[in-house]
Chains A and B, each alone.
Chain A
């Protein structure tokens, strides 16, 4: 028979056990809706970079998930240098953008540039690159992963309609909105954005007009990969930071980009939030595993009726 030693730290809690405590009453629709919005924001962050590299350039970059991982590890490394997590997380955002962007640039210059117009080859090669990056991370960092401390100003909850909404979720949403706004403005209002759009719509004509399309390719790939790094910082606050973390984002991110309409940022935005909110409601009604199945089924059915996605644009890469 086991010993019956009581653990004093527990007794306080258990003396006020279930029946005596006041249970929070929350509308059944609010938690999944808010959780889903945050999950959608994380999906959007993971997918935004892909709308550039896959959507605009036609490169199926399976190492995008490992760029997310790189961003998360950069957040950790930043924390080693700047120990105050209140400041380091803010510093980590641009550093992760730069670090993951440079990784992307390296991939573009080293490998991808020989493979434009061959999307299936980019798929195979980048799967290999993703495995290599995972193994490198496994060799460098502790196998079980590293902790990225959340800043103090993200501790706690905001009260939304009686539901205690974690501030870290709010942070993800704000971050996704900022990245989205910056990317949209960059593409729409800057001369470089116009060059990207020109190259996407007609590469030959763009070249004839004096646009250096190779430079455009590189910078597009840099920015797309950099956005994955920013997604990594957000992911490091929500889940584990380890060599395998990228694998869980890559498939949903591609799914979101395809469902939204390849190359269309507004489609990606709608698809990301639709999938995120659907996942949370399904998880609320059924189980976490069934939610994944249902969400995928929903997207597949949608693509049966609308294979081109929500919105379409003529791209050079996939047609």
Chain B
């Protein structure tokens, strides 16, 4: 409610600016209609920086299946915008955000991106969750030379001049998890995942690294994202009896998996699970059955860093809060501050100038997970690797941390066990 009121107040103050913006939109549309050879130029002139506000777009699924995850991202973006505005805005301009609903539908993500860039003339868009939504947005932001900030850990093997990635790529989440397992002396591993691009790609990488580490893969199972029934696959885990289960399952299906696992008599003492998608938000829905298992993330609510207590406190006090902080929402929180840092380094809201500032290097954000540094080339950020064990309060006791922050390497070019032909094949398969 608070956000709505302040946004309305700002809108009223910005009537002249809006009028100017409308004129610019009309001019932009006119020139585009007249000269279709230069759509980019029309789109660029569309961002209005004349008033005392700057328009940003938030694009999250507020309805449909992904709303269970993306609602929180939207809420934390609103909180970050309020914070930045209270602190004087970006380059002295107050953020005026346009919230759009991606509705768990990938063509809708593409349409809304187009609308935000060409009609609302936002300076940047923040949001998305699934890789499918990101891949729907990517061609549109590239064509219109817009900016998109993507806040979720993903399968890597991607970089775009128009996208900034504030979640982990594989070498900041999957590889630390494997390093942890190897350090514990794990010899056999079972892979369980949802059937879509992230788990398939992650498991391709896990299998290559496991061979390097001398860990044997004793099984690999996939279930469609929208199915909760894991009983047959769990029977296979019982039969294979692995040292550890690597879990790349996503969404509600994870609850079905954890329950089937518990029902079959498997426990963290006999067959522990390490997950890359169960965080503080997801764990409560799984009940006590999930307690004692592990997750690999960059951020945990239990992380002891200078900025984390304040972040947790502000989020808990926020009207639309979910009550707990978690990795993806922290990455979304970072994304808005990263944009602020970029715009201030560039001294401009212009996309090309922002990218030039990024390429110069040295852009950092003092985030709840620590001071993260932007890689100006691949547009990902450095992150700490952390492994947590779920306790009875559905919080994570941190049992392992990487030595320092891990630089992003979305194409795994620094890992010689990852062959170039596999990389090319995976990039081609991901489209």
Interface residue? B50 (CB, 8 A): no
Tell me if B264 and A143 are in contact (CB < 8 A).
no
Tell me if B243 and A143 are in contact (CB < 8 A).
no
Distance in angstroms between the alpha carbons of A283 and B227 in the assembled complex: 12
Chain B residue with Cβ nearest A149: B287
Quick one: given A239-B256, A283-B233, are A3 and B287 in contact (CB under 8 Å)? Answer: no
Residues of A within 8 A of B230 (CB): 288
**Shortest Cβ distance from B258 into chain A, in angstroms?**
9
Interface residue? B275 (CB, 8 A): no
**Shortest Cβ distance from B267 into chain A, in angstroms?**
10
Residue from B69, B180, B188, B231 in contact with A144 in the complex, judged by beta carbons closer than 8 Å: B69
Residues of A within 8 A of B4 (CB): none
Tell me if A164 and B264 are in contact (CB < 8 A).
yes
Tell me if A21 and B241 are in contact (CB < 8 A).
yes
Tell me if A2 and B180 are in contact (CB < 8 A).
yes
**Shortest Cβ distance from A180 into chain B, in angstroms?**
20
Tell me if B252 and A288 are in contact (CB < 8 A).
no
Quick one: given A147-B285, A239-B228, are A7 and B399 in contact (CB under 8 Å)? Answer: yes
Chain A residue with Cβ nearest B283: A144
Interface residue? A241 (CB, 8 A): yes
Chain B residue with Cβ nearest A168: B263
A residues 19-42 in Cβ contact with B at 8 Å: 21, 23-24, 26, 31-32, 35-36, 38-39
Tell me if B287 and A288 are in contact (CB < 8 A).
no
Residues of A within 8 A of B272 (CB): 10, 13
Residues of A within 8 A of B284 (CB): 142, 144, 146-147
Interface residue? A169 (CB, 8 A): yes
Tell me if B187 and A145 are in contact (CB < 8 A).
no
Quick one: given A31-B232, A245-B228, A287-B221, are A149 and B185 in contact (CB under 8 Å)? Answer: no
Interface residue? B65 (CB, 8 A): yes
B residues 387-420 in Cβ contact with A at 8 Å: 389, 399-403
Tell me if B235 and A7 are in contact (CB < 8 A).
no
Quick one: given A145-B252, A284-B236, A292-B227, are A14 and B287 in contact (CB under 8 Å)? Answer: no
Interface string of B17-36 (1 = CB under 8 A from A): 00000000000000000000
Chain A residue with Cβ nearest B292: A9
Residues of A within 8 A of B241 (CB): 18, 21, 23-24
**Shortest Cβ distance from A128 into chain B, in angstroms?**
13
Residues of B within 8 A of A4 (CB): 183
Tell me if B72 and A143 are in contact (CB < 8 A).
yes
From B72, B176, B236, B285, residue with most partner A Cβ within 10 Å: B285
From A11, A12, A239, residue with most partner B Cβ within 10 Å: A239
Interface string of A80-122 (1 = CB under 8 A from B): 0000000000000000000000000000000000000000000
From A1, A7, A247, A279, residue with most partner B Cβ within 10 Å: A7
Residues of A within 8 A of B83 (CB): none
Chain A residue with Cβ nearest B240: A23
Distance in angstroms between the alpha carbons of A232 and B364 in the assembled complex: 49
Residue from A2, A7, A156, A289 in contact with B223 in the complex, judged by beta carbons closer than 8 Å: A289
A residues 130-145 in Cβ contact with B at 8 Å: 131, 135, 138, 142-145
Residues of A within 8 A of B67 (CB): 138, 143, 243
Interface string of B258-292 (1 = CB under 8 A from A): 01100111001110100000000110111110000
Chain B residue with Cβ nearest A31: B235
Interface residue? B238 (CB, 8 A): yes
Tell me if B252 and A242 are in contact (CB < 8 A).
yes
Interface residue? A304 (CB, 8 A): no
Tell me if B68 and A2 are in contact (CB < 8 A).
no
Interface residue? A161 (CB, 8 A): no
Interface residue? B124 (CB, 8 A): no
**Shortest Cβ distance from A289 into chain B, in angstroms?**
4
Interface residue? A238 (CB, 8 A): yes
Chain B residue with Cβ nearest A138: B67
Residues of A within 8 A of B233 (CB): 283, 288
In the assembled complex, 25 residue pairs joining A and B whose CB atoms fall closer than 8 Å, in A order, are A1-B403, A2-B402, A6-B183, A10-B272, A13-B272, A14-B187, A17-B243, A18-B241, A24-B238, A131-B63, A142-B322, A144-B69, A156-B265, A157-B263, A157-B264, A157-B265, A164-B238, A239-B253, A244-B68, A247-B226, A279-B229, A284-B236, A287-B223, A288-B232, A292-B224
The 9 closest A-B pairs by CB, nearest first: A239-B228, A240-B255, A288-B223, A166-B263, A147-B287, A240-B252, A239-B256, A145-B285, A31-B235
Interface residues, chain A, CB within 8 Å of chain B? Answer: 1-7, 9-14, 17-18, 21, 23-24, 26, 31-32, 35-36, 38-39, 131, 135, 138, 142-150, 156-157, 164, 166-169, 235, 237-245, 247-248, 279-280, 283-284, 287-289, 291-292
Known: A14-B187, A244-B68. 17 other contacts (CB 8 A): A5-B400, A9-B389, A11-B184, A13-B243, A13-B272, A31-B232, A38-B231, A39-B231, A144-B281, A144-B284, A147-B284, A147-B286, A157-B264, A166-B263, A166-B265, A283-B233, A287-B221
